[in-house]
Amino acid sequence: MSKKFWLTLCAGALAFHAAAALAGAAVSVPPPVANTPENIVRQTLLRLVPKAQVDEITPAPIPGFYQVIASGHLVYVSADGKYVMNGDLIDGVKGVSLTDDAWASYRKNELAKVPVSERIVFAPEHPKYTVTVFTDVTCPYCRVLHQQINALNKEGIAVQYLAWPRAGVIGDDGKPTATYTEMVSIWCAADRNDAFTAAKKGQLPKQADCKNPVKDQFDLGLKLGVTGTPSVYAEDGTLIGGYLSPADMLQAVQEHSATGG
């Protein structure tokens, strides 16, 4: 197993939190972990990447293997912990990517947990399709995408934005990054949509702070494998691209919509 792969996996990892010690004079020793395949798989991954955040372990389509989603990556681990595979698993009969299907299902379920009230939504009166877009207000292609928001709405596409400041939440100086602070101000604005559109034009929002979902949405993006913006997801959880023109967006959402287009 190459060192480069594990460094890549670790790079997107969320912080791994060790269990806190019990308060008081004596701390009881926890019982030994059951030697189940799931625990063997988990310990194998954590031995190789100690800071990995393991989010899901399920039986893989390959007999004797488990599918593991951890820190924005999907890998396959043998039930005995001897083998780890990183790559695209293809159904040789149907010619489809089982890895892509697994990612889409997982992303759909995780995105469904984000309330619409925590998103910034631009939608036609009667939307036919919905896309979720992880965005950074400063990225050039995010701005081009938003310039076409009216055209996207005319195609019946509702666009629901989630915050993903590319520079992260905390900078190397230990302080909140400028983009994170700007996006917090937008999410805390009296009119989020107006503040968002103005920011896409390069106008800094009035500084504001409140209880907001920006960090949670950034962390969710890491969990789902977001590495850049815009990242556009169809209703079925499929990553359909970065920037897409209205015509290309319509074709993509029709292919992956619940209604079939």
Tokens of 25: 């004079």
Is 235:258 a contact under the CB 8 Å cutoff? Answer: yes
Q: Which of 42, 107, 139, 143 is catalytic?
A: 139
Q: Which of 42, 107, 119, 166 is catalytic?
A: 166
Query: How many helices and strands (H and E) does the chain possess?
Result: 9, 9
Query: What residue type is assigned to position 180 of the chain?
Result: Y
Say which DSSP state 16 is in.
P
CA distances from 85 to 29, 31, 74, 213 (A): 34, 31, 9, 34
Q: Which of 42, 107, 119, 136 is catalytic?
A: 136
CB atoms within 10 A of CB 70: 23
Strand order in the sheet with 84-85: 54-59, 65-70, 73-78, 84-85
Determine the longest span between alpha carbons in the chain, in angstroms.
66
Q: What is the rounded distance in angstroms from the CA atom of residue 220 to the CA atom of residue 149?
A: 24
Q: Which of 42, 107, 119, 142 is catalytic?
A: 142
Tokens of 5: 């792969």
Q: What is the rounded distance in angstroms from the CA atom of residue 261 to the CA atom of residue 249?
A: 12
Q: What is the rounded distance in angstroms from the CA atom of residue 68 to the CA atom of residue 108?
A: 17
Question: Is 166 one of the annotated active-site residues of the chain?
Answer: yes
DSSP string of 97-123, one letter each residue: BHHHHHHHHHHHHHHTTS-GGGSEEE-
Tokens of 120: 């910034």
Helices 192-200 and 140-147, axial angle in degrees (round to 10): 120
The residues annotated as belonging to the active site are 136, 139, 142, 166
